[in-house]
Amino acid sequence: MAKFNKKKNDMPAVNTASLPDIVFMLLFFFMVTTTMKDSDLKVVQTLPKATETKKLEQKKLVSYIYVGKLKGKKGDFIQLNDRLQSIKDIQNFILDKRTKVTESELPRLTTSIKADINNEVGTIFDIKTELREVDALKINYSATTMQRKE
């Protein structure tokens, strides 16, 4: 009778052998399509919208200057890398970036100004003056791309 006992109507377990493959596939998809977050945003921002945008390629060659508001505080704040800094630190920030790339890449360095729509043009102009002082002339007004309308 022992033979009969084994013939219970058990539900066969779902074979999970291919689960790792599926998950790995997802993993690789995300690894390829995304980029690493390099700094946490401390300032609050809404980027302006524009139609004539160009994609910023090669993140390595881009220095980001974040400008925005802080909650509960008046005025515009500048964030470089992970810290809130003053306008005087911009020159050093750019010079520091230059030491990290090879000589042939130097002319392709770009500075992306990511600023909130409610920032004052005055603040942005001060940043641009600092950039001109160190000859970082290629800039980019960060904006979200939208379709042209006729």
Partner 1 sequence: MAKRDIPEINAGSMADIAFLLLIFFLVTTTMDIDAGIPRKLPPKVKKDQPKPIIKERNVLVVNINQNGEILVNNEYKTVDQIKDVAKDFLDNGAGKGKDGNTCDYCEGKKLETSSVHPNKAIVSIQSSRKTKHGIFVQVTNELVRAYNELRDRETQKLYHESYETLLERAKKNPKNETLKNKVKIVKERFPMILSEAEPIKVE
Binding site for partner 1 (CB under 8 A): 16-17, 19-20, 23-24, 26-27, 30-31, 33-37, 48-56, 59, 62, 67, 110, 112-113, 115-125, 128, 131-133, 135-145, 148
CB of 100 to partner 1, least distance (A): 18
Alpha-carbon distances of 120 from 73, 77, 143, rounded to whole Å:
15, 11, 16
CB of 109 to partner 1, least distance (A): 13
Q: Which of 5/35 has CB closer to partner 1?
A: 35
Q: Are 125 and 141 in contact (CB under 8 A)?
A: no
CB of 99 to partner 1, least distance (A): 21
Q: Which of 5/36 has CB closer to partner 1?
A: 36
Q: Are 122 and 93 in contact (CB under 8 A)?
A: no
Q: Which of 1/13 has CB closer to partner 1?
A: 13
Alpha-carbon distances of 113 from 66, 86, 139, rounded to whole Å:
6, 15, 7
Q: In what order do the strands lie in the sheet with 62-68?
A: 83-85, 77-80, 62-68, 110-115
Q: Which of 96/133 has CB closer to partner 1?
A: 133
Q: Which of 1/121 has CB closer to partner 1?
A: 121
CB of 84 to partner 1, least distance (A): 18
CB of 45 to partner 1, least distance (A): 10
Q: Are 49 and 146 in contact (CB under 8 A)?
A: yes
**Gyration radius (Cα) of the chain, Å:** 25
Closest CA to 78 of 126, 46, 35: 126
